[in-house]
Amino acid sequence: MALNEKEFDGVDSPVHDGRSSEKSSTFDQNVEEKYKHLPADAHPELTEKEIKALYRKLDWRMMPILALLYLGCLIDRGNIGNAAIEGLTQDLHLTGNRYNIALTLFFIPYALLEFPSNLVLKYFRPSRWIPFLTVLWGIIMTTMGLVKTYHQLVAVRACLGIAEAGLFPGIAYYLTFWYPRHELSFRVGIFFASASMAGAFSGLLAYGIHFMDGIQGLHAWQWIFILEGIATVAIGLLAALVLYDFPATASYLKPHERAYLVWRQKYAYSDQGEDEHFSWQYVKDALTDWQVYTHALLYMTIGGPLYGFSFFAPGVVKSFGFNTADTQLMTVPPYVFATIVLLFNTYWSDRTRLRSPFILFSLTLNIIGYSILLSNVKWSAHYVGIYFILAGGYSAFPIMISWASNNFAGHYKRCVSMALQIGLGNFGGAIFSNVYRTQDAPRYKLGYGIVFMFEWFGIIATIANVLLYRHINAKRAKLVAGDSEGAGVKLSGEETRRLGDKAPTFRYNL
């Protein structure tokens, strides 16, 4: 049953979602009144062509700024690798494992604070919280260019982890407000493509900044931190002007388009809709859900090695015999290739509505890449191995996040579960930042061997998830059909909403 556009003519557009919380709240309630009584088979009248046009409108409005935000995040997190070959390690006397400790101290607060940050995002306004975090870490990044000692560097890196903690899980969760579950992977892929491009841009920027060494008495590595931090602050201020909180408050959409998005998201995970009221039971449900931990393990086997290798990639490339400036340039092509593979992988993941086969493909690329780096072959072959590693790591990331998002129902449980998965998984960044020991440079065979083993754990975790999901889906299908012990399952709409992804009618995505 479709409802005519006129049904929504009474909903006025706000001036802007973010300028007045009172207006935003009132508008949200008005839209709520329009859609909350609609059953799952009723929706605002949009043709297939109009629906595609609506999502294209969202893409053009949201994805560029989200991609810019994450681009700044990854550049600021990873530019320490470019700074290291510009003299950072010598000037701050980063001998022994000091460089590894500086990398590790970022990930501890980063992993611990992702969960509470996502709760803050749901309670407060995304259009303010996300830009605030961006401006904050941009300022911190700028101050990193002024550090004089190892201890100052470690302290600022820890502060950077605190500020950046909320961005990635926040954006991943924020996108679930706007896009249906089977169209999420490509959108996460678009904004995560900026992560792989961050490596390319970071190399290009570092190449240009290399020639600023000595200006105003500052070293090139200091200019890397200062200039890239200032750019991040500018991006954060821009985001505050263009981000909207929720579909119901997006004034650039027509009333019936807003109503469609609100209706669509209400029934994206359940034919009875999702419960919007917070309860600590959702936190308990997330903490006791086996999915959180299998997905966290998968995240750790993909994200941890990717973070660790990215920090050391410039040094690995320099060991091939290039000078510093050429090394910065030679880090660019592998990241461009990774971006292409990422977009290909996420596009077909959404088209086929499958996640696990594409994650397995990406993990296989990683295994091939580390096998090459462990081999005694020419530097050119090792350079090709870097292409495989970065392509595998970056292309798996958005699909892995979408897979978890698809299989957690209920806004608050999804919010908590995604933050827990990402937070626990990001402890892998702390682990894998330490497998590349100074004494093992530049071949890092011990580090490559450890990562190679963990990639196989990722394959095992993926296959285990699929087998469990298939078993549960089949069992639920029998229950619903009344084939289990001769009795069907009948639940009220309220019971179905409360059960979320545990409801017999919910099917896990494979």
Q: What's the CATH code of the domain at 282?
A: 1.20.1250.20
Taking the C-alpha atoms of residue 319 and residue 321, their distance in angstroms, rounded to an integer, is: 5
Q: For the chain, how many residues are written?
A: 510
Local confidence band at 493 (pLDDT 50, 70, 90 cut-offs)? low
In a domain, 199, yes or no: yes
Taking the C-alpha atoms of residue 176 and residue 414, their distance in angstroms, rounded to an integer, is: 9
**In terms of DSSP H, where are the helices of 319-374?**
324-330, 332-352, 356-374
In a domain, 329, yes or no: yes
State the average pLDDT over residues 55-60: 91
Taking the C-alpha atoms of residue 237 and residue 336, their distance in angstroms, rounded to an integer, is: 28
H-helix or E-strand spanning residue 44: strand 43-44
Tokens of 46: 């949009």
Taking the C-alpha atoms of residue 79 and residue 86, their distance in angstroms, rounded to an integer, is: 11
pLDDT tens digits, 321-340: 888 888 888 988 999 999 99
CA 467 → CA 287, 462, 470, 476, distances in Å?
22, 9, 5, 14
pLDDT tens digits, 298-315: 988 998 898 888 888 888
pLDDT tens digits, 452-489: 999 999 999 999 999 999 999 998 888 877 654 545 55
In a domain, 141, yes or no: yes
Residue type (1 letter), 55: Y
Residue type (1 letter), 505: T
Contacts of 77 (CB under 8 A, 6+ apart): 106, 160, 164
Local confidence band at 443 (pLDDT 50, 70, 90 cut-offs)? confident
In a domain, 58, yes or no: yes
Note the pLDDT of residue 7.
52
Pairing label, strands 43-44, 2-3: parallel
Taking the C-alpha atoms of residue 393 and residue 400, their distance in angstroms, rounded to an integer, is: 11
Taking the C-alpha atoms of residue 49 and residue 456, their distance in angstroms, rounded to an integer, is: 43
Q: Does residue 268 surpass a pLDDT of 80?
A: no
Name the β-bridge partners of 43. Answer: 2
In a domain, 183, yes or no: yes
Q: Does residue 230 surpass a pLDDT of 50?
A: yes
Taking the C-alpha atoms of residue 99 and residue 95, their distance in angstroms, rounded to an integer, is: 7
Contacts of 377 (CB under 8 A, 6+ apart): none
Q: Does residue 342 surpass a pLDDT of 60?
A: yes
What's the Rg (C-alpha) of the chain?
Answer: 24
Tokens of 459: 């394959």
Count of structural domains within the chain: 1
In a domain, 65, yes or no: yes
In a domain, 88, yes or no: yes
Is residue 442 reached through a cis peptide bond, with omega within 30 degrees of 0 on the bond before it?
Answer: yes
State the average pLDDT over residues 124-148: 93
Note the pLDDT of residue 148.
94
Name the β-bridge partners of 22. Answer: none
Quote the domain boundaries for residue 82: 47-482
Name the β-bridge partners of 3. Answer: 44
Half-sphere exposure of 229 (CA within 13 A, CB side): 21
Q: Does residue 32 surpass a pLDDT of 70?
A: no
Note the pLDDT of residue 151.
95
In a domain, 197, yes or no: yes
H-helix or E-strand spanning residue 256: helix 255-266
Name the β-bridge partners of 44. Answer: 3
Show contacts of 412-415: CB within 8 Å, 24+ apart: 412/122, 412/275, 412/278, 412/279, 412/282, 412/283, 413/282, 413/285, 413/286, 413/500, 413/501, 414/173, 414/176, 415/118, 415/119, 415/121, 415/122, 415/173
Half-sphere exposure of 184 (CA within 13 A, CB side): 29
CA 138 → CA 227, 440, 492, distances in Å?
10, 33, 49
Q: What average pLDDT does the structure give for the chain?
A: 82
SS (H, E, C) 216-233: HHCCHHHHHHHHHHHHHH
What is the pTM (predicted TM-score) of this model?
0.76
Residue 277 CB: number of other CB atoms within 10 A?
8
**Rounded to 5 degrees, what angle do the CA atoms 393, 441, 158 make?**
60
Taking the C-alpha atoms of residue 168 and residue 293, their distance in angstroms, rounded to an integer, is: 19
Q: Does residue 44 surpass a pLDDT of 80?
A: no
Note the pLDDT of residue 496.
65
Place of tokens 């390319």: 200
Q: For residue 508, give the nearest of 456, 470, 453 by alpha carbon.
A: 470
